[in-house]
Every structure is written in structure tokens, then in C-alpha cells.
Chain A
Amino acid sequence: MQTMKFLVIDDSLVIDDSLTMRRIVVNTLRSIGYESIVEAADGKDAMAKLMTEGADFIITDWNMPEMNGLEFTRWIRGNPQYNMLPILMITTRGNKDDVIEAMKARVNNYIVKPFTAQGLKDKIEQIIKTAEPKTA
């Protein structure tokens, strides 16, 4: 029997400086069954929340004050404690160069705003299928 590897998402961390966007993402996540969600207003806030509350899946915006989404992604990937966390970037930046830069920073997937609930669901499913599961 073939053994399938899946990522299990228990706690999500949603990072966006726009309260409206955070609520949209949180409500969409809840509508597709993800109930445990922590919110952060920027990269620095997210670092603190991650250290205190933890998360196993991250959704981040790019343009944010203090520490932007790209800087936060680089911090995550450079941190041995968190570098396996899957990151989905949701941003207005839709240029090819932006996507390349985000991929170089090693985000797992990328959504351009405005997105649909189905679009978010599909991207999360893609990440679940391809991301490395948590270590036991």
C-alpha cells in the first residue's frame, strides 16, 4: 500500500496590515474548515505571535509596515525552528518579477488580490499536497 504524506493544518497565522483583508481571509479560512487562526498586523507582530502562540501554516501579505511579508518569509526560512512552515503569500503585487522574488524567498504559493474563496481553497490544497509535513 502506498503511503501518502500530508501536511496537517491545525493553527493558521494570518498576517496583513489591513483589518479588512485579515477578516476576509479569516472568514474564508473558517468557511473551509480552519477554525484555529491567529492574526498579526505585520511581520514583527507575526514573529511575536509565532513565538507565543505557534502556528503550522502561514498566510502573509507582502506590503506591510515594520517588517514586510518578504522579509518575514526570509526570517522564517532562516530560522531552524520554523523554516519548514508552509507560507502562502496573498498580495496585490502581480508582476512576474514580484512572483519570482517571492519564490526566491521560498514562499510555497502565491495569490494575487483580489482572490476568490475557491482560489484560496485550491492554493491551500496544493500546499497540503506538496509541503513537507511537520516532523514527528
Chain B
Amino acid sequence: MRQGDFKILLKHIEELKALFIFSKRTVPFIEDIIYFIQEIVPVLQELASSIEVTSEKLPKASKQLSKVTHATEMASTEILNILEHSFVKIQHLQEEVQRDGTMMPGLSEKMNSTLEGIKTDNMNIMMALQVQDITSQQIASVNRLMQAVDEGLARLMKHFSDVTVGAKDDKYTQPNLDIPFDEYAEYDVSHRRQEIADEVIAQTGKAHGPRKSKHSSHIS
């Protein structure tokens, strides 16, 4: 063996020594990683199972919400039926009071005023039913959000298993999900939003409505 060969051998021994030192230092890290994986796997399995359960519950919750919309719509219809009958009855009573000439002086005016008051109250009840349209849009918005979460979970689950969970088109085919909605719809009786709209209309001035035609009818 020549001297050069010894040098190469020594160099390889040095490299092996360095490798052993490196391994000695990295083994604890690798052991930690193995422990971590051992601990995280059951957690991930639990997470996958939890996502699966949640994903199954979301369409059910969505259906329940749609039922709420349907129920409030039916209730509103019933209230409107009653109010419309009431409007007709008040109208008849007002006409009868007007026709009847045998009433004590001032009584017909008093009755008329009371009937007008009832009519106004009924009108206010009817206007408050706008809440049905507004809440149905809020529910539609929540439903759409739930569907988006379900779709996200379905994408996530693909990493865990081949089993398809989450958003399937047939799970969300209730008619209420298809209705267009305003996600910012709110029952705000302060009329703040109307004031904002009026400001915009005032600013845009006459730049709205149909373009002026050359012809128009005149009423004196």
C-alpha cells in the first residue's frame, strides 16, 4: 500500500467519523419526529372523522333553515289574509257609518276616526311583515355559506381518504338555496340606509330615469 492510498483511507475514515457524529446528533430529532407522527396520526384520524360527521350535518342544518323560510312565508300569508279581510271589513263599516244618518252628532266622526286608527295599525302590522322577505334572504345567505364550508371540508377530506364526503350537488337542491339574495339584507327600521340612498339620488340629480323624449303630453 502506497502512502497516497493511506491518505485516501484516512480521509474516508474522517468522513465516516463526521457521518457518525452527524447521525448521533440527528437521531434524537428523528426520534422526536417519529413520536410526533405517532401522536398526530390519531388526531388527524379523529379530525377526519369529525369532518365527515360535520359534513353530514351541514345539509341537514341547511334543510332545517329552508323549512324556517317556508314556515315564515306560510305564517306571513296567513297574517296577510287576515289583514286583507280586516281592511275590507273596515271599509264596509266606514261606508255604513257614512250612510247612516241616525247617529248622534259627533259619533260618526268618532267612529270613523277609530276605524282609521285600526286601519293604520293593520297597515303597520302589514309593513312589519317585510321582515319575512329580509330574513329569508339572510337565511339563504347562511345556507350558501354552509354550502361553501361543506365544499371546503370535501376538498380537505380528499387528503385523508378516497371516501367522498361533503358537498354533493344533490345534498343542496332545496328550492330556497336557489333564490338570489342580498347577503347584507337587514331589518333596519332606522331608515339610515334609505337616507344614504336618497343622498346618492340627490347627488346623481337628473341623471336617472328614462331619457327625455321629444314628445310629452301636458295636463293643465
Q: How many residues of B contact A (CB 8 A)?
A: 52
Instruction: Name the residue of chain A whose CB is nearest to the CB of B185.
Output: A92
Instruction: Name the residue of chain A whose CB is nearest to the CB of B193.
Output: A94
Q: How far is the CA of A136 from the CA of B214 in the complex (A)?
A: 12
Residues of A within 8 A of B216 (CB): 5, 132-133, 135
Describe A's contact surface by its main secondary structure: loop
How far apart are A14's CB and chain B's nearest CB, in angstroms?
13
* A114 touches B (CB below 8 Å): yes
Residues of B within 8 A of A130 (CB): 206, 209
Contact A103 B200 (CB under 8 A): yes
Contact A131 B200 (CB under 8 A): no
* A110 touches B (CB below 8 Å): yes
**Once A and B bind, how many residue pairs between them come within 8 Å at the CB atom?**
161
How far apart are B91's CB and chain A's nearest CB, in angstroms?
10
* A38 touches B (CB below 8 Å): no
Residue interface bits A1-25, CB-to-B below 8 A is 1, else 0? 1011110100000001111110110
Residues of A within 8 A of B128 (CB): 114
Instruction: Name the residue of chain B whose CB is nearest to the CB of A87.
Output: B209
Residues of B within 8 A of A96 (CB): 196, 200
Contact B210 A131 (CB under 8 A): yes
Contact A86 B210 (CB under 8 A): yes
* A52 touches B (CB below 8 Å): no
